[in-house]
Structure 1
């Protein structure tokens, strides 16, 4: 039987999103259910209060996870939280392997690297955060809740992304790093970065590019020289043209909108490489999705506008659906290059949102500190 509400001790858990962009979305969803999960997993005789907060829009890149832990500890003290958990989309490393999470009992804070959790980040966070809170409180020790009753290694079993638990060597119990494997962990990290960067947002941000590509495709449909080219080129050459067109478009977007991250005093070469990889993959997925939309629209337009008899007269042979698909294929590939002109008309902030290291001022999120 639980104690009465009046006598139940209260523990305040702060959730901080840094930067307040994609991590804030995860925090918002987690905050609605974390108190119930803590009651179920940690202690039902405690009144769990969960607070949401923003971290820096441009979090410090120097100092790695220790800098984040220091900033988080100051926030915890200022807001009088019992413990604080930071969710970040910065790709963190330790000893050249991806860092999934790190706890600091001395500071009563922990950091979780969302990209290191892979694609199913919310599900993994639901498993990780209650255990981290329990570890921070019971290792302190905090007399308000009983000992955790589980070893840190059990978290590695519960969360697929975690492969090892490493003592930081600071001499304090609970100063632990949860790390991923070197190879599979890096693949998971990159996939998680693309997930956090939201290719769908990049696709919506390139609407003028798609409109420009459709305009180019519509003009090309009226040119019988393109019909003959589509008939003469084999599948291998059409595929090569498609790949070259998409690669040229991605390169143009990166160069024209200055999306390439350069190493400097604040950004290490390793971090810059990861940011550029995340940006390139995000744009690749976004342009590939726009290409599929363009291809489907071109097939439909070709079927409506080009009569079979007219196409047969030009090609001097019977035509089939494959001929229309090949025609749409070459036109879509050429139109992607024309669409690059349309991308130059996009709002700069809209296009820059595809850059992994770029974080705009947040909109629609409210820090509880602000009332």
Structure 2
């Protein structure tokens, strides 16, 4: 793909949702930054095109052909495609795939990790564009991430792309059940006695157990666990990565819900409890420690109630809350193919 004299037209071909947001944000400053770094008076025009170019596949060669076909229909000098899907090449996690001859690049955002993603993505795009705009060295180059740190970075990037905090508003029925359970438990004298008798280790165990029940229930009930139809080592490696991202994503969402329930239960207890009545039942005065212990224990009880309430949610609603749009589509395609 020839580079236009004087002005280099760069297209950021981005999957919908997070990749598009990242591309649009960096496009505001990218032309000036590229011009400053390239020197020689070269100017850059940057266009953002939001399209689901990964629809139905996560195979890098197939994606590169799609990018090439898309770029050939436009007056673009360089095309950088951004996706929030993890990509693999020969059993290794792919970060960037470059085709210098045609001025194409495929960037997997999860390979950049989950922290300072906007900055890291901008730097990766800048380096990619400047490399493609410079002298040709080789036709096809792949940059991969490997080792435990690389695995962890991709995993964090996948969780970041899933935006686990969206799980909270996505579980409206489960939260309603949890809040109702917590409200009733807070005014139950038996719960008062139990909370007052529990040591800190037992409270921790009850918290971990309730959160684990909620995570397990959501994953099993909404069929979030990925089972690869293939038996190859690479397929099993992918399945482990996808399932790890599911557990972490759902786990973070559930922990956010748990903390929210604890705060709400504490406020409710401060408003509703009677000091004399509480002391007559538990033989303990109602001080700050008792409020905190009760709110903590009730949050565990309420979380179990929320797990039961999550059965009222549709599987589609839970998947929409737990996954990015590209990840939802990828799983739906794999589910349909497995069903066939």
8 Å CA contact retained: 2:171, 2:313? yes
Change (3 A) 1:352 1:194: same
Aligned pairs (5 A) from 1:273-288: 273-288=240-255
- SS across alignment from 1:86: strand
1:336 Cα deviation from its structure 2 partner: 0.7
Q: Please state if 1:271 is matched with 2:267.
A: no
Return the match for 1:122 from 115, 118, 135: 118
* Separation of aligned partners in 2, 1:176 and 1:293: 47
1:36 to 20, 32, 35: 32
Residues 1:90 and 1:130: Cα distance change in structure 2 (over 3 Å): same
Distance 2:285 2:98 in 1: 70
Whole-angstrom distance in 2 between the partners of 1:8 and 1:111: 24
Which residue number in structure 1 is paired with residue 7 of structure 2?
10
Inter-partner Cα distance in structure 1 for 2:163 and 2:329: 13
Question: Over residues 224-245 of structure 1, what are the superposed CA-to-partner deviations in whole Å (9 max), with x where a residue is unaligned?
Answer: 1111111122111111111111
Shift of the alpha carbon at 1:12? 1.4
Aligned to 2:265: 298
Could you tell me how far apart the structure 2 residues matched to 1:66 and 1:111 are?
10
The aligned residue for residue 157 of structure 1 is none
Alpha-carbon separation, structure 2, partners of 1:355 and 1:122: 19
Structure-to-structure mapping, 1:243-258, within 5 angstroms:
243-258=208-223
Q: Deviations over 1:190-219 (max 9, x none)?
A: 111111111122222123322221110111
In structure 2, the CA distance between the partners of 1:57 and 1:101, relative to structure 1 (3 Å rule), is: closer
* 1:96, distance to aligned residue in structure 2 (A): 4.5
Aligned equivalent of 1:232, options 187, 190, 197: 197
- What TM-score do you get using the length of structure 1 for normalisation? 0.80
Q: Which moved more, 1:283-292 or 1:196-205?
A: 196-205
Contact in 2 for aligned 1:14/1:85 (Cα 8 Å): yes
Cα 1:199–1:97 change in 2 (3 A) is same
From 157, 165, 169, give the equivalent of 1:204. Answer: 169
SS at structure 1 position matched to 2:215: helix
Gaps of 5+ in 2: 331-340
- Secondary structure of 1:173's counterpart equals coil
Which structure has more helix as a fraction of its residues?
2
Paired with 1:265 and 1:73, the residues of 2 have a C-alpha distance of: 29
Aligned residue for 1:40, secondary structure, equals helix
User: Residue 100 of structure 1: CA displacement?
Assistant: 2.1
2:158 to 193, 218, 221: 193
Quote the offset at 1:305 in angstroms: 0.8
How does the TM-score come out when normalised to structure 2? 0.87
Distance 1:264 1:27, change over 3 A: farther
Deviation at 1:359, TM superposition (A): 3.8
Q: 1:173 to 1:56 in 2, by over 3 A?
A: closer
Q: Which runs of 5+ in 1 are unaligned?
A: 1-6, 141-171, 361-371
Q: Is the 8 A contact 2:31 2:44 kept in 1?
A: yes
Q: Indicate yes or no: 2:36 matched with 1:69.
A: no
Which residue number corresponds to residue 324 of structure 1?
Answer: 291
How many residues are aligned here?
320
- 1:218 and 1:82 map into 2 onto residues whose CA distance is 61
Distance 2:277 2:54 in 1: 58
The question of whether the paired residues in 2 share the 8 Å contact of 1:17 and 1:88 is answered with yes
- Asked if the contact 2:223–2:315 (Cα under 8 Å) also holds between the matched residues in 1, the reply is no
Change (3 A) 1:59 1:88: farther
